[in-house]
């Protein structure tokens, strides 16, 4: 079965919004062999799905940051694909934790209920969610780990938004490439070479500064090849449906690479490191005190009645040369001074209304 050609057939159609909590996944949990591997701070069960009975063991987790839901949707799509794939089921045994941080997912927060960033808790393992992950890691003894996240809208490669990014995390400050790290680089290289045919120039490498408190660095340091998958965002695509598909495809490509032994270390070296020069909305030529200035607006994701809405916030005011935007609006230079005070951090709704700019994301 061709993954991309049949994507719309197996893709799960339930998840319409950016909000995704444990309850939204009940149907998925019921369809597969699912086990409770621990409980969150607020005592919500953390569940892991088992698929396949092959020799190569892969541990995957998503939503370690509760508000990073697109990766989970991509993962669920991949799970549905696996369900019908006898070849991959015979090669691999997957243990999959779709939502590692159920409390964060519930409140649409990066943090767990103790306000801890779980991805800074790898060494300490002070939180029940971190303990559950490490316990499964220790008993399952995976050959590979896949660590799934969503990244912010401001990452770019040249003038294009970073739709996906990847990393084989460092194992020390010197960023030594040992055989473990090289293996995950080889998988990412294979993904990159294939994905370039579909989203050329929109694939980046995530920052590889070493931090042993992060799970990717920690597990790769312990000796398990670990891959960071970051779901980004295509231009002005706030539903992230496009990047969802590409991350799902990347999970598929990883399994093909590993089962066919076609690691591509050379291609990894070609991947450009992403920058953070993108913004959500850029307004040019706003007249403030007779000076034409630019305003950078960031959309803050806010949970309201089980739906994520985007609130425009003023991020910066000034003159910005080297910046790219999901949406740019150049105002008429002859407009009058704006009549009210604006500051960085303000809600920009009033400002946008003033210029009759309506955002429909």
Interacting residues toward Zn ion by CB under 5 A: 65, 68, 149
Closest to Zn ion by CB, 119 vs 224, is 119
Q: Rounded to the nearest whole angstrom, what is the least distance from the CB of residue 309 to Zn ion in the complex?
A: 21
Pick between residue 24 and residue 147 the one whose CB is nearest to Zn ion.
147
In terms of CB distance, is 80 or 278 closer to Zn ion?
Answer: 278
CB of 283 to Zn ion, least distance (A): 29
Q: How many CB atoms lie within 10 A of CB 311?
A: 13
In angstroms, what CA-CA distances link 328 with 242, 293, 308, 338?
A: 21, 14, 23, 19
The rounded distance, in Å, linking the Cα atoms of 44 and 25 is 13
Closest among 175, 161, 276 to 220, alpha carbons compared: 175
Q: With respect to Zn ion, which residue has the nearer C-beta, 68 or 298?
A: 68
Query: How far, in Å, CA of 252 to CA of 235, rounded?
Result: 24
Query: What is the H or E stretch that residue 242 is in?
Result: helix 241-260
Nearer to Zn ion, 151 or 224 (CB): 151
The 3-state secondary structure of 112-123 reads: CCCCCCHHHCCC
* Structure tokens belonging to residue 294: 């630019």
Rounded to a whole number of angstroms, the minimum distance from the CB of residue 65 to Zn ion is 4
Q: Residue 95: phi, psi to the nearest 5?
A: -115, 120
CB of 67 to Zn ion, least distance (A): 9
With CB atoms as reference, the residue minimizing the distance to Zn ion is 149
The CB-of-148 to Zn ion minimum distance in angstroms stands at 8
């Amino acid at each position: 079965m061709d993954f991309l050609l049949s994507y719309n057939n197996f893709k799960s159609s339930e998840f319409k919004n950016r909000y995704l909590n444990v309850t939204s996944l009940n149907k998925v949990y019921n369809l597969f062999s699912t086990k409770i591997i621990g409980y969150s701070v607020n005592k919500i069960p953390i569940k892991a799905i088992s698929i396949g009975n092959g020799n190569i063991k892969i541990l995957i987790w998503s939503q370690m940051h509760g508000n990073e839901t697109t990766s989970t949707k991509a993962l669920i799509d991949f799970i549905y694909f696996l369900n019908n794939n006898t070849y991959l089921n015979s090669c691999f045994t997957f243990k999959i934790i779709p939502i590692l941080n159920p409390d964060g997912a519930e409140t649409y927060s990066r943090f767990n209920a103790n306000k801890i960033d779980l991805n800074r808790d790898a060494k300490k393992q002070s939180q029940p969610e971190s303990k559950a992950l490490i316990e499964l890691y220790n008993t399952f003894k995976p050959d590979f780990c896949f660590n799934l996240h969503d990244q912010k809208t401001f990452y770019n490669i040249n003038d294009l938004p970073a739709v996906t990014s990847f990393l084989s995390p460092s194992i020390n400050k010197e960023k030594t490439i040992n055989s473990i790290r090289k293996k995950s680089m080889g998988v990412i290289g294979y993904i990159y070479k294939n994905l370039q045919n579909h989203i050329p120039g929109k694939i980046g490498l995530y920052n590889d500064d070493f931090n042993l408190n992060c799970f990717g660095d920690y597990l790769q340091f312990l000796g398990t090849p670990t891959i960071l998958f970051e779901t980004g965002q295509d231009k002005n695509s706030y539903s992230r449906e496009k990047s969802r598909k590409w991350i799902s495809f990347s999970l598929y490509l990883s399994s093909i690479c590993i089962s066919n032994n076609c690691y591509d270390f050379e291609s990894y070296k070609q991947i450009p490191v992403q920058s953070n020069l993108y913004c959500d909305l850029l307004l040019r030529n706003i007249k403030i005190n007779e000076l034409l200035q630019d305003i950078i607006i960031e959309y803050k994701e806010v949970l309201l009645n089980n739906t994520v809405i985007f609130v425009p916030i003023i991020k910066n005011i000034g003159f910005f040369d080297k910046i790219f935007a999901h949406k740019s609006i150049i105002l008429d230079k002859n407009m009058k001074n704006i009549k009210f005070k604006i500051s960085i951090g303000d809600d920009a709704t009033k400002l946008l209304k003033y210029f009759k700019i309506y955002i429909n994301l």
